[in-house]
Every structure is written in C-alpha cells, then in structure tokens.
Amino acid sequence: MLALALLAAAPVLAAGPPAPAAHVDADGPYVFREDGHLRARWICDDAVQEQAWDAAQATVPARCGHPHPVTVAPPAAVATAVLPQASRIVAVSDIHGQYALLARLLRANGVIDDADNWALGRDTLVIAGDVFDRGPQVTEAFWLLYGLQQQAAAAGGAVHFVLGNHETMVLYDDLRYVNPKYLRSAQLLGRSYPQLYGADSVIGQWLRTRPVLLRIGDTLFLHGGISPEALPLALEPAATNAAYQASLGRPKAEVKADPATAPLYDGKTSPIWYRGYFDGRLDSAGVQAVLDRLGLKRIVVGHTSMAHVSSFHGGRIIAIDSSIKKSENGELLFIEDGRLSRGLLDGTRVPLAEGVLEADD
C-alpha cells in the first residue's frame, strides 16, 4: 500500500476539551445581532467590556483582541458554488488561529498592504478551511478574512472562505482542539464556545453561508477532498453546500446518525475529512477518473499537513496545508492563467514542491 511521508498525517486525538485558561489578556470583538441592533463584547484583562449600536450596521472599534476596526455589513448572502475562471487566484488553508503568521504571509506576497487592507485588486483569494482551533488568534483571523471579503468585493476582486472540518467540529461542540484561551472567554461571556458563533453572531451567520465545495473554472477548492464515494455530493455542489450550511450547529451524534447528513460527516470519505489522495487509497488513475467525472483539471485541498504547497498525481491534486498551525512557516498557492507557483514567507515565488508517495515497509 502507498503512504505519504507527510507531517502529522495521523494526529493523536485529544481525549476531551482542555481546561479553560486562567486569564485572558485580550479577545474580541464578539458581535451579536439583537432585534435589529448590534452588541459587541470584548475581553480586556480578563474582564468583559461591551458596546451597543441602535443599527444593523456599524463600525466596531479596535479595543482588545483584533487590532483593526471592524465594519459590520448586512447579513451575508449564501455563497455561490460555481464561478467562472479567474485569471489570478491565491489560496491558503489551515490557519488554525495563527493570525500573525497569516497576515505576515499575505503581506509578503502582496495580498494585503502594511495596514492589512486588501491589495490584490480584482483578483481572488481562497481560504480552504480550518481557521478554528489550536492557535491563540482565531478571533483576529476571522475578522481579517471577513473584512478582506468586503474590501475585495469593493475593488472588483473576491475572497472566498471554504468551510473545513474544524469549523463543523466547533459548531457541533467538539472542542478537543480549542485553545484554552477561548474556553475562558466563553466563561466570561456567559455562553458556550459554540454559542459565541451562533446564528445570532455576525461571524456565526457568515459561517453558515460559506461553501464546502467551490469551483472556479476548471479547479475545485475544498478542505479534504472528493472521494469516489462522495462523487454524488460533488456533482451537485450547490445542494451539498446547502446541506452543510443547514446542518451547522446540529449535535455531532445527530448529523452522523441522520442518513441525510451522515455522508457529509463521514470521517474517511466526506469532502471535509478525506485524505485518500495521500494515504494510498486512490492512485493517479483513480484521481483522473474523479476529475473526468467532474469535468475538472485539478482539485486543491487543505487538511493534510505538508511542509510545502505540493503537487501530487501529476498536478491533478494540489495540497496547500503548509503547516501554518505550527506557527513557524507558511506558503501560498498562486494560479495565474493556468500557471502554478507558491509564495513563500519572504515573498519569494518558486515552483510547487513535488509530493512523493512512498511504499509502506
């Protein structure tokens, strides 16, 4: 059987949620819609501060946590599943609470400017899931992406956030990988951690409109991958996205037991969990068969940690989880008129790394 020499391909599962941190220096804002009003809450030196607005839209000031003001837009519309070819796409995945490293990477490669504002003009940025868990700056990362989406749209460009398995995990209360800081924040704010991202929250509502499957031209972006078993889901991307969106926040046991949602959450074959391109379950001929069935040139995925943005199966699969979660390094994928390269942390552009499948002993 084939197996990939990759980083942390089979992480040891945590037994349960960690204990809450003893103290939170800064976190927020958490912004909620309440009867047509907005209410923002921050944690500042382990105490709650809040501010309210008698409006559905407002600019929330930088206070504790996220370093920039937040422009709260009207509730987001459901994202489109299929889009036309874009001349230039930049993609990244698996941020896992490493906001500072993400911002540094985006600045170095000209996606944002020194003030963290959109600098990519009419081009496209795709984030292939997993902002939640592990790192200490989840809140900041979500607000950065939320704001960049507005700025990009105003410039004629686009930012697309694609849901990963950790988004679904947090929303159905699987908190094994949550940074202890956030469990303390939840205590102070009087809600469970998933409730901080409930449908009444600005980011929670936004998440409930994001896709799992995003096709741009001849390239499919998603977190895990399309297994042969999940081909029916990929053939109906809008319906699949709607099914995921409707299931977000339902109890874990319920979505796994319900025949209508079980395929969405299968830990081995579903679009948010699949690793079969890298662990030997699917060879290059099998990958090509999936692409042919879907009319695609390539599939771009996160979820499986790599040292570099890498090409597998003759360029049919591009793996973009560059282990940002380790808070040491990160890379971007560039697709420019069909040409692929990777952007490094110093802004250098180099060819994709070649992924290597090795035989098991």
Q: Flag whether 176 is in a domain.
A: yes
Q: What is the pLDDT of residue 14?
A: 56
Q: Flag whether 54 is in a domain.
A: no
**pLDDT: which is higher, 52 or 35:** 52
| pLDDT for 5 beyond 60 | no
CA proximity to 234, closest of 348, 81, 68: 81
C-alpha gyration radius of the chain: 20
| pLDDT for 10 beyond 90 | no
The distance in angstroms from the start CA to the end CA of the chain is: 9
Average pLDDT over residues 5-14: 45
Q: Flag whether 63 is in a domain.
A: no
| pLDDT for 359 beyond 50 | no
| pLDDT for 143 beyond 60 | yes
Q: Determine the structural domain holding residue 315 and report its residue range.
A: 2-24+74-359
| Number of domains the chain contains | 1
Q: Residue 88 has what DSSP assignment?
A: E
**Digit-coded pLDDT (tens) for 278-336:** 999 999 999 999 999 999 999 999 999 999 999 999 999 999 999 999 999 999 999 99
Q: How far apart are CA 358 and CA 78, in angstroms?
A: 41
Token reading at 40: 């923002």
CA distances from 313 to 181, 223, 317 (A): 40, 18, 6
CA proximity to 40, closest of 17, 25, 59: 59
Contacts of 142-148 with CB under 8 Å at 24 or more apart are: 142/203, 143/29, 143/66, 143/68, 143/70, 143/203, 144/66, 144/68, 144/99, 144/102, 144/103, 144/116, 146/70, 146/202, 146/203, 146/206, 147/68, 147/70, 147/71, 148/112, 148/118
**Digit-coded pLDDT (tens) for 64-122:** 999 999 999 999 999 999 999 999 999 999 999 999 999 999 999 999 999 999 999 99
Q: What is the pLDDT of residue 15?
A: 74
Q: Flag whether 108 is in a domain.
A: yes
| pLDDT for 61 beyond 90 | yes
**Digit-coded pLDDT (tens) for 196-252:** 999 999 999 999 999 999 999 999 999 999 999 999 999 999 999 999 999 999 999
Question: Residue 78 in contact with residue 242, Cβ under 8 Å?
Answer: yes
Query: Is the C-alpha dihedral spanning 285, 288, 290, 292 positive or negative?
Result: negative
**Digit-coded pLDDT (tens) for 252-276:** 999 999 999 999 999 999 999 999 9
Q: What is the pLDDT of residue 12?
A: 45
Q: Flag whether 33 is in a domain.
A: no
Q: What is the pLDDT of residue 87?
A: 94
Quote the distance between the C-alpha of residue 135 and its chain's center: 14
Q: What is the mean pLDDT of the chain?
A: 94
Q: Flag whether 31 is in a domain.
A: no
Give the HSE-up count for residue 191: Cα atoms under 13 Å, Cβ half-sphere. 15
Q: Flag whether 212 is in a domain.
A: yes
Average pLDDT over residues 151-173: 98
Q: What is the pLDDT of residue 333?
A: 99
Average pLDDT over residues 344-349: 98
SS3 state at 146: helix
Q: What is the pLDDT of residue 55?
A: 87
Q: Flag whether 191 is in a domain.
A: yes
Q: How many residues does the chain have?
A: 361
Place of tokens 């409707």: 246
CA proximity to 164, closest of 139, 138, 132: 132
| pLDDT for 9 beyond 80 | no
CA proximity to 295, closest of 238, 234, 337: 234
Going by pLDDT thresholds of 50, 70 and 90, the confidence category of residue 361 is very low
| pLDDT for 187 beyond 90 | yes
Q: How far apart are CA 219 and CA 77, in angstroms?
A: 23
DSSP string, 196-234: GGSTTBHHHHHHTT--S-EEETTEEEESS---GGGHHHH
Q: What is the pLDDT of residue 360?
A: 34
CATH number at residue 302: 3.60.21.10
Average pLDDT over residues 45-66: 95
